């Protein structure tokens, strides 16, 4: 930069008596003033190399291109404001001022801001943290805890004034009003938000310690409404990610809108695109539960019918086999008696006849006793099987206050009010007696 020689205290060669001889310090100070005046605020791009940090928090590094190297310094206040990690090889654009470090006579850039070249600082910070946590296993599926079905106690970590809490409560109110909601209000953006969110998650886990199972928080919903990447940034912070990962209570992340993804979404046990959808995922609709109950009832009725039919088939088979056995015994004993009679006819003497008559009478008694015992035994088995079947009979249920409704004149069992219309006649079977009715209204 051209400069008037008089400004630098230079004198013409012929005025040797007035020449000024600089000390090193004087020259350095003048150069420093010139540089600071000419380059008070500049932007410089280059590649980072030679990073070093000292305990005070000051960071030193070089900014280089293919031909030159510029020494750079970042003081702690500016270093702490960086959202991303400064690494060797990273191409950046630095803003600051040029000055001279007088003790060594080196000029250097005192950096106030740094932006990654070609990508925003927040996006770079997000990618760096994502890679770090993924390497540690915080996103692994095997660490995901199952979300409880129909929990009775739900913890919320969000702003007490935001739209998220209103959306969640609105959805829950339309599903099950007796769900117990506990809110731990936090700031969801700005200074201190990340610390409050992480602490609220830890507080819920501490709250659960020592409580009976039916008093514990069963699931947490952590989130907020939509916004810019800056608005959502608290949910991209490492402290929040580790609090979610360490939580013993399953966590549903509900941050922003459907298009928004945060580190919290990746660590959480379940990601919901919006706070409203988080509420829908954790509490099913009553209609869905009713439909499921109908399905289970239908399955139970089908199983009952199958069991009753199997019992009937078993009893029929048992009765058939018992009858065959009895016939076989009677036939066998009849054959024995016929054989004895034949022998009696052949021998004929009165004494022999008398003896044989006695044997025949004795044999007959044995037959009767055995047959009677067998019949009693089979009858006992039959009555036991019949009693088991009777205990499963739908008619026995009537004794516990239930009833069965039949349509008239078909006699078909009515399972659905939609089978009837106004004016139809029905017959209701009770434990004792029946009731005949006419339909006046169907709901």
Gap between the Cα atoms of 115 and 117, Å rounded: 6
Q: Is the separation of the CB atoms in 183 and 156 below 8 Å? A: yes
Neighbours of 275 (CB within 10 A): 30
| Interatomic CA distance for residues 50 and 64, integer angstroms | 10
CB neighbours (10 Å) of residue 362?
Answer: 10
> What is residue 361's predicted lDDT score, i.e. its pLDDT?
84
Instruction: Please report, in angstroms and rounded to a whole number, the separation of the first and last CA atoms in the chain.
Output: 95
What does the buried/exposed string (b/e) look like for 27-37 if buried means 16 or more CB atoms within 10 Å of the residue's CB? Answer: ebeebbebbee
Cα distance between residue 120 and residue 84, in whole Å: 10
Q: What pLDDT does residue 395 have?
A: 66
pLDDT tens profile 141-152: 999 999 998 888
pLDDT at 223: 92
**H runs (alpha helix) in 149-247:** 163-173, 193-208, 238-246
pLDDT of residue 419: 86
Predicted confidence at residue 48, as pLDDT, reads 86
Give the CB-side neighbour count of residue 62, counting CA atoms within 13 A: 11
Q: How confident is the model at residue 342 (pLDDT cuts 50, 70, 90)?
A: confident
Q: What is the pLDDT of residues 5-44, one digit of tens each?
A: 344 444 445 555 578 888 888 888 888 888 878 888 888 8
Domain ranges across the chain: 5-118, 126-282, 288-392, 400-438
Nearest to 225 by CA among 282, 272, 179: 272
Domain 126-282 of CATH type 3.40.50.300: no
121-136 helix and 238-246 helix, angle to the nearest 10 degrees: 30
User: Using an 8 Å Cβ cutoff, are 432 and 400 in contact?
Assistant: no
CB 46, CB 72: distance < 8 Å: no
Q: How far apart are CA 159 and CA 162, in angstroms?
A: 5
- Confidence at residue 354, expressed as pLDDT on a 0 to 100 scale: 75
CA nearest neighbour of 358 among 334, 366, 329, 372:
366
Q: How confident is the model at residue 10, as a pLDDT?
A: 44
In the CATH hierarchy, which top-level class contains the domain 5-118?
mainly beta
pTM: 0.48
User: Assign residue 104 a region: left if phi > 0, alpha if psi is -120 to 50, beta otherwise?
Assistant: alpha
Task: Spell out the residues 6+ positions from residue 142 whose beta carbon is closer than 8 angstroms to its own.
Answer: none
Domains 5-118 and 126-282 agree in fold = no
Strand-pair category, 251-255 with 69-74: unpaired
């Amino acid at each position: 930069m051209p400069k008037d020689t008089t400004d630098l205290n230079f004198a013409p060669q012929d005025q040797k008596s007035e020449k000024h001889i600089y000390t090193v310090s004087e020259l350095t100070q003048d150069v420093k003033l010139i540089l600071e005046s000419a380059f008070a605020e500049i932007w410089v791009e280059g590649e980072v190399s030679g990073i070093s940090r000292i305990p005070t928090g000051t960071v030193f590094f070089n900014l280089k291109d293919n031909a030159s190297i510029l020494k750079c310094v970042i003081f702690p206040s500016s270093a702490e404001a960086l959202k991303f990690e400064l690494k060797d090889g990273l191409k950046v654009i630095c803003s600051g001022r040029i000055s001279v470090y007088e003790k060594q006579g080196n000029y250097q850039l005192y950096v106030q801001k740094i932006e990654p070249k070609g990508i925003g600082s927040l996006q770079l910070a997000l990618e760096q943290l994502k890679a770090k946590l993924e390497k540690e296993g915080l996103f692994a599926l095997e660490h995901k805890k199952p979300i409880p079905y129909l929990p009775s106690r739900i913890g919320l970590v969000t702003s007490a004034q935001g739209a998220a809490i209103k959306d969640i409560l609105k959805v829950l109110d339309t599903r099950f009003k007796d769900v117990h909601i506990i809110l731990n209000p936090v700031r969801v953006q700005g200074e201190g938000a990340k610390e409050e969110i992480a602490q609220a998650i830890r507080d819920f886990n501490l709250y659960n310690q020592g409580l009976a199972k039916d008093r514990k928080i069963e699931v947490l919903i952590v989130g907020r409404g939509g916004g810019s990447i800056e608005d959502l940034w608290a949910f991209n912070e490492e402290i929040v990610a580790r609090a979610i990962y360490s939580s013993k209570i399953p966590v549903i992340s509900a941050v922003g809108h459907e298009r928004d993804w945060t580190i919290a979404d990746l660590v959480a046990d379940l990601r919901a695109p919006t706070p409203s959808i988080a509420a829908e995922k954790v509490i099913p609709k009553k209609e869905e539960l009713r439909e499921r109950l109908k399905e289970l009832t239908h399955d139970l009725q089908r199983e009952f019918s199958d069991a009753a039919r199997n019992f009937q088939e078993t009893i029929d088979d048992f009765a058939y086999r018992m009858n065959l056995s009895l016939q076989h015994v009677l036939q066998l004993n009849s054959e024995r008696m016929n054989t004895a009679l034949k022998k009696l006819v052949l021998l004929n003497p009165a004494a022999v006849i008398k003896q044989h008559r006695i044997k025949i009478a004795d044999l007959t008694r044995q037959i009767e006793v055995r047959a009677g015992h067998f019949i009693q035994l089979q009858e006992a088995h039959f009555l036991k099987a019949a009693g088991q079947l009777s205990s499963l009979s739908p008619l026995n249920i009537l004794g516990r206050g239930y009833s069965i409704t039949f349509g008239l004149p078909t006699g078909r069992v009515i399972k659905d009010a939609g089978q009837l219309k106004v004016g139809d006649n029905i017959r209701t079977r009770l434990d004792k007696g029946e009731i005949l009715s006419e339909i006046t209204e169907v709901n």
